[in-house]
């Protein structure tokens, strides 16, 4: 079955406390020069071919269910 990935990340202007916590932990461990933002990754198995219509359906699904578009951006990767 084909696999489609939906990546969801907080918008740049939105605070990301989990990302800040990881960034701080990296610095305390001696790993400087990294900034982390934490998001979500969805792996969706698709029955049949991944057509343009199917990708459009997945885009709608991501926009309405997987991401809060007020505070998050998303991308659908086939």
- CATH number at 52 reads 3.30.1280.10
pTM of the model: 0.89
Work out how many domains the chain is built from and give that number: 1
| Mean pLDDT on 50-75 | 97
Reported as a single tens digit per residue, the pLDDT across 59-69 is 999 999 999 99
Q: Would you place residue 32 in the very low, low, confident or very high pLDDT band (cuts 50, 70, 90)?
A: very high
Lateral strand order in the sheet of 72-77: 40-45, 3-10, 72-77
| Mean pLDDT on 22-30 | 98
Burial 42-76, CB ≥16 within 10 A → b, else e: bebebeeeeeeebeeebeebbeeebbeeeebebeb
Domain holding 73, by residue range, is 3-77
CA dist 20 and 22 (Å) reads 5
Instruction: Provide the pLDDT for residue 6.
Output: 98
């Amino acid at each position: 079955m084909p696999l489609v990935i939906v990546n969801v990340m907080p918008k740049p202007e939105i605070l990301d406390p989990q990302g800040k916590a990881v960034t701080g932990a990296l610095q305390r461990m001696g790993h400087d020069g990294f900034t982390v933002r934490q998001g979500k990754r969805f792996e969706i198995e698709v029955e049949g071919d991944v057509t343009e219509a199917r990708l459009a359906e997945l885009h709608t699904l991501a926009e309405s269910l997987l991401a809060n578009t007020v505070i998050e951006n998303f991308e659908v990767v086939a």
